[in-house]
Amino acid sequence: MERNSLFLFLFMMFVWAGLCSAQTTGDKFVLIDGCFFNGMPPGVRNDEGAQMIMLTDEKGHTALEIRLNKGKKLPDYAMKYRVPVEKVPGGEELLMISRSGTQKPMAVAGSNTITLDKWVGKPFPDFEVKDTAGRVWTKADILGKPFVLNYWHTGCRPCIKEMPDLNEWMKICPNVTYFSTTWNTPEQIKKIVENRPFLFTHIADELFFFNLFKVQVTPTTVLVDKKGIIRYWEEGTSESKRAYLLDRLKELSAE
């Protein structure tokens, strides 16, 4: 996998760091088309933002406004996960600043990430991989139950931060096969997955799944149905993206 095209992801992490330090609530609010979200909303990828604008009011409340590329819009299902303006510290003022157009956009680099949307609706390809316990897995082993595949690495703070929420998925939807995949070695991930912990089945020191879909942004999460058909994926993570994926996983479990 070529990692130099992670530029946009690293740029986004720089932006998030600024949000964390300035936001008094610790939340990272994103504003798109006049709607607030906790992080990037579902159905919107990092590479779809034509402009990013850091909105800051006089009290230090912040939000990252993302103006989507021409022809792109928020999917209807994302609206379920929006945050009411009255629940966003400084929300009304931030909206006024956005509408005034007084704050200049930041430059945004393009991303050459090949996303997974071309795979949605198609069968998950055949594979043979070994987990950190030594078990060999093939496609036959994941059929008959929904399958979750989460991409991460040890230097990805958002990946590590979302692990407790992903563990909760295992309690809510127990009849699912859960994989994580990383290029880090078993020795490198041991401390994190044991102490955090992270309870997925771990495919470590392995680039097969990364190369299969040309995934270059972490975290990325893929949901596969009981018949082995890729149904959903999300690039990046946020409270709204995780809520959306969990809702979809519940539906796949009930099918």
- Model confidence, pTM: 0.80
Assess whether pLDDT exceeds 60 at residue 85. yes
pLDDT for 20 equals: 36
pLDDT in tens, 44-70: 765 555 678 889 999 999 998 988 877
- Give tens-digit pLDDT for 182-204: 999 999 999 999 999 999 999 99
Longest dimension (CA), the chain: 58
Angle at which helix 157-172 crosses helix 239-254, to 10 degrees, equals 30
Q: Determine how β-strand 177-181 pairs with β-strand 147-151.
A: parallel
Q: Which domains does the chain have, with CATH numbers?
A: 23-100 (no CATH), 117-254 (3.40.30.10)
